[in-house]
Chain A
Amino acid sequence: MRAFVERRPVWSAIIALVVLVLLYLIFAIWPEWLVDAIGRKKVFLNALFNGITLGGLYFLVASGFTLIFGLMRNVNLAHGSLYLLGGYIGFFVADSTGYWLLAFPVAFIAVGFLGVLLQILVFRQMEGQDLRQTLVTIGISIVMADLMLWGVGGNFFNISPPSWLSGPMETGLVTSQRVRSSGEVVTSYLKYPMVRIVIFAASVAIGLAMWLVLNKTRIGMLIRAGVDDRDMLSATGARIQLVFVGVFFFGAGLAGLAGVVGATFQSAAPGEDTRFLLASLVVVIVGGMGSIPGAALGALLIGLAEQFGSVYFPTYAVVLTFLIMVVVLAFRPQGLLGR
């Protein structure tokens, strides 16, 4: 961090300023002129929290995508279909057993195995032919989308979280303070859905665990070596195909896991697959291909942009997301944290 400040003093100052303004906006009681300028604090805080939690969901989807891409240079455009499949599996598991938590491991393992099948049957057969792999995954995503539509129909499926997670949570953040005519001061606090906070915490935990595994374990060392130079790693005798299968399992499983989260947050329905595929594409383009911290940063940016956009300029919310991508591409084609 000190090295970053020394190398880029201007950028550090800008980042510090933004953080300070953000802290003020979150914790201070807004004066009248600020409320007049950008609306009530409650709206702002809700958009901020929604953006951050949506970013957590985007991170779960995009990190699997970027992990697979970083190691194997495979662009898996069927990633959105894996996400949606996870959502459906999660819904049926939670619905039939009544255990919400059970949905996560089942979706993770089932979708992970599908990912292993993809890796063995498709990607390994066409190693080094990027374009063909991409085209095949487009074909697979079309077939999967139609099979899922055939299997479960076009309805919206929403997983309801268990009772101990539903309902709002007191955050302790002041949204407004008014003085009544009787002289009594009324302070209202922000309430936020418990389940979103828990899920966000879980996705942060998963992200941290991934970072630890990648940086502190032997397997992580193998993966990082594979990202840097695949041929050299296999020449040193590492069983690289096994690493590939493992990473594909994990990456696809993460998409399935994210599907369950998405079906709890919003819903699982046809069309969500393309939406999340696009979201993860934009996230990894902004963050940098193959970089896990990049995926986290990109997911946060895109999630915030989407939510703030839909609150403050509803018509052009999508364009804001796109604008971020264009600016990043124009000035840093490899992505914010890409190499």
Chain B
Amino acid sequence: MAMIDTSSRAKVDRRLWIEKIPAAYWIVGVILLIIPSFASDFIMFQIFGWTFILGMIATSLMFLGGYGGMVSLAQMTFAGVAGYMVAIFGDSAIDTISMGWPWWVAIPLALIIAVLFATAIGWLAVRTEGIYTIMITLAIAAAFFYFTRQNYDVFNGFQGFNSVFPPQLFGVDWRQPEAFYYLTLFWAVLTYFAVLYLSRAPFGLALQGVRDNPRRMAALGFNVTAHRVAAYAFSAIPAGIGGILLTWQSGQISPGTIAIQPAIDILIIAVVGGLSHPAGAFIGAFLYVILKTFAVDFLIAMGLSGDRFQLLIGLGFLVVVAFSEDGLLGLWKKLRESRKKDPLTGEVTE
């Protein structure tokens, strides 16, 4: 699973910090920064904006699943809680329910409520292990979906909330494609590095220890349950930010946003990308968005009806899961290792 690279720390590295950044980061970073100069509004807003948002929510699952060993289907629910709270505390077209509080109250409050919700759910879910966790979080996601659909006093039932828009901060309309692109990019990058940092911080290391051998960690004096619940609480932050951005992107939130299908889609994104590294979540999200956007055209070109999109997603998911234990990242690792092998001796050369 997750590799913790300590070998480079053994020898003293005298390069400047700027030289230590791997080339891949430079390339991806520059490309992502200059995309708005040539891409169309549709690509910026719909493809990349959506990729970053789904990537963030999938990263929260990757954090729980990859480092904590707890595969949760409730991440979309955490995102939905934050999105709903922004609509309820902030502004929306449903002014009988929305309170219209300023953004600097509504957004932090929404995130805090999402974290509290995730803590409660986590406290329930960690009473079970492994596959049970999937079942319980699936049941929780479904219960929340049906609840929002039937509750009209707070969640406005089937319709949900529409006209939920980001605040006009610094005189910028954050829903313009370019501004929204940079907004989502900023939070996605922050999520990526935060999760990467946390995976090497004491808490992340302890969490990985709990994943690998809970009994030994308990014997060493770590509070296993507390670490797991804390992981759920932390995972609600990227999920919640993703949920708020998702609400702003589509301008609305309704039970359909957090239905069972989207919850399973998040799992598919994270698993297809790979659960060992946050990059997997974003790769998976990019593939998913590309598929979702262009599969209809592709299917029609193949002579099939465009409705068979789910079939394509399901089959693709099956193939990836069947051939690799760690999604696309796992395939990539396998490929690199096989190329490093000496063809004569079969030994791996560094």
Known: A130-B131, A146-B314. A138 touches B139 (CB 8 A): no
**Residues 315-335 (chain A) with a chain B CB within 8 angstroms:** 315-319, 321-322, 325-326, 329-330, 333
B267 touches A142 (CB 8 A): no
Check A138–B142 contact: CB distance below 8 A: no
A131 touches which of B71, B136, B146, B150 (Cβ 8 Å)? B71
A145 lies within 8 A of B130 (CB): no
In chain B, what residue has the closest Cβ to A322? B143
- State whether A143 and B308 are in contact (beta carbons under 8 Å apart), knowing that A318-B147, A333-B127 are contacts in the complex: no
Chain B: interface residue count, which band?
35 or more
- Within 8 Å CB of A263, what residues of B? none
Which residue of B is nearest A75, CB measured?
B131
B residues in contact with A28, CB < 8 Å: none
Is B116 interfacial (CB 8 A cutoff)? no
Q: Is B230 an interface residue (CB 8 A)?
A: no
Q: Contacting chain B: which of A90-98, A278-286, A291-299?
A: A278-286
Residues of A within 8 A of B267 (CB): 135, 138
Q: Contacts of A150 on B, CB cut-off 8 Å?
A: 305, 307-308, 311
A285 touching B146 in the complex, CB below 8 Å, given contacts A130-B131, A132-B325, A147-B311: no
Cα–Cα distance between A188 and B132 once the two chains are bound (Å): 48
Contact A281-B308, Cβ < 8 Å, known A139-B318, A321-B143: no
**Are A142 and B310 also in contact (CB < 8 A) when A278-B142, A281-B135 are?**
yes
User: How far is it, in angstroms, between the C-alpha of A278 and the C-alpha of B71 when the chains are bound?
Assistant: 17
Inter-subunit contact A329/B308 (CB<8 Å): no
B260: A residues at CB distance < 8 A:
274, 278
Please pick, from A134, A314, A318, the residue contacting B143 in the complex, using a CB distance under 8 A.
A318
Are A134 and B134 touching (Cβ within 8 A)? yes
A134 contacts across to B, CB distance below 8 A: 131, 134
Q: What is the 8 Å Cβ interface bit string for chain A, positions 108-150, against chain B (1 contact, 0 not)?
A: 0000000000000000000001111011101110110111011
Is A84 at the interface (CB under 8 A from chain B)? no
B127→A329 contact, CB < 8 A: yes
The verdict on B301 contacting chain A, using a C-beta distance below 8 Å, is no
Nearest-neighbour CB distance to chain A for B116, whole angstroms, equals 16
A147-181 Cβ-contact flags toward B at 8 Å (1 or 0): 10110000000000000000000000000000000
Per-residue CB proximity of B228-241 to A under 8 Å, as 1/0? 00000000000000
Let me know if A260 is at the binding interface, CB within 8 A.
no
Among candidates B147, B152, B313, residue contacting A319 with C-beta atoms closer than 8 Å: B147
> Do B321 and A139 have beta carbons less than 8 Å apart?
yes
Q: Does A257 touch B at the CB level, under 8 Å?
A: no
Q: What separation, in Å, do the CA atoms of A321 and B144 have in the docked complex?
A: 12
Given A132-B321, A135-B321, A136-B318, also A282-B128 (CB < 8 A): no
Assembly CA distance A140 to B314 (angstroms): 7
Taking residues whose C-beta sits less than 8 angstroms from the other chain, chain A's interface range is: 35 or more
Helix, strand, loop or mixed for chain B's interface? helix
Q: Is the CB of A143 within 8 A of B127?
A: no
The answer on a CB contact under 8 Å between B311 and A146 is yes
| A289 part of interface (Cβ distance < 8 Å) | yes
Contacts of A333 in B (CB 8 A): 127-128
Q: How far is it, in angstroms, between the C-alpha of A75 and the C-alpha of B305 when the chains are bound?
A: 32
Q: How far is the CA of A194 from the CA of B342 in the complex (A)?
A: 75
B118 within 8 A of A: no
B317 within 8 A of A: yes
Beta-carbon contacts under 8 Å, A69-97 to B: 75, 77
Contact across chains for A75 and B321 when beta carbons are under 8 A apart: no
Q: Is B151 an interface residue (CB 8 A)?
A: yes
B283 at interface by CB-CB < 8 Å:
no
Query: Which A residues are CB-close (under 8 A) to B71?
Result: 131
Chain A residues contacting B82 (CB-CB under 8 Å) are: none
CB of B4 to closest CB in A, whole Å: 21
- Do residues A143 and B321 form an inter-chain contact, with CB atoms below 8 A? no
Interface residue ranges of B288-322 to A (CB < 8 Å): 305, 307-308, 310-311, 313-315, 317-318, 321-322
Do the beta carbons of A143 and B314 come within 8 Å of each other? Answer: yes
Bound complex: CA of A135 vs CA of B124, how far in Å?
Answer: 22
* B130, B143, B147, B264: residue with the most chain A Cβ atoms closer than 10 Å: B143
Given A131-B71, A274-B260, A329-B127, A142-B317 contact (CB < 8 Å) = yes
The complex places the Cα of A278 from the Cα of B259 at a distance, in Å, of: 13
A134 CA / B138 CA spacing, docked (Å): 12
A285-B136 in contact (CB<8A)? yes
Q: Is B88 an interface residue (CB 8 A)?
A: no
Instruction: For residue B320, give the distance in angstroms from its CB to the closest CB of chain A.
Output: 9
Question: In the assembled complex, which residues on chain B have CB atoms less than 8 Å from the CB atom of A314?
Answer: 150
Residues of A within 8 A of B321 (CB): 132, 135-136, 139
B314 interface neighbour in A77, A139, A285, Cβ under 8 Å: A139
B146 adjacent to A142 (CB under 8 Å): no
Confirm or deny: B115 has a beta carbon within 8 angstroms of a beta carbon on chain A.
Answer: no
Given A75-B135, A134-B134, A329-B136, 16 further pairs, Cβ under 8 A: A77-B134, A132-B325, A135-B271, A138-B268, A138-B317, A139-B315, A142-B317, A146-B311, A146-B314, A150-B307, A274-B142, A274-B260, A322-B139, A325-B139, A329-B128, A333-B127
Q: Can you report 29 residue pairs joining A to B where beta carbons are below 8 Å apart?
A: A75-B131, A77-B134, A129-B325, A130-B131, A131-B130, A138-B268, A138-B317, A142-B310, A142-B311, A142-B314, A143-B310, A143-B318, A146-B310, A150-B307, A150-B308, A274-B142, A274-B260, A278-B139, A285-B135, A289-B132, A315-B152, A317-B150, A318-B146, A322-B140, A322-B143, A325-B143, A329-B128, A329-B136, A333-B127
Smallest CB-CB A-B distances: 10 pairs: A142-B314, A322-B143, A143-B314, A139-B318, A318-B146, A146-B310, A146-B311, A333-B127, A139-B317, A75-B131
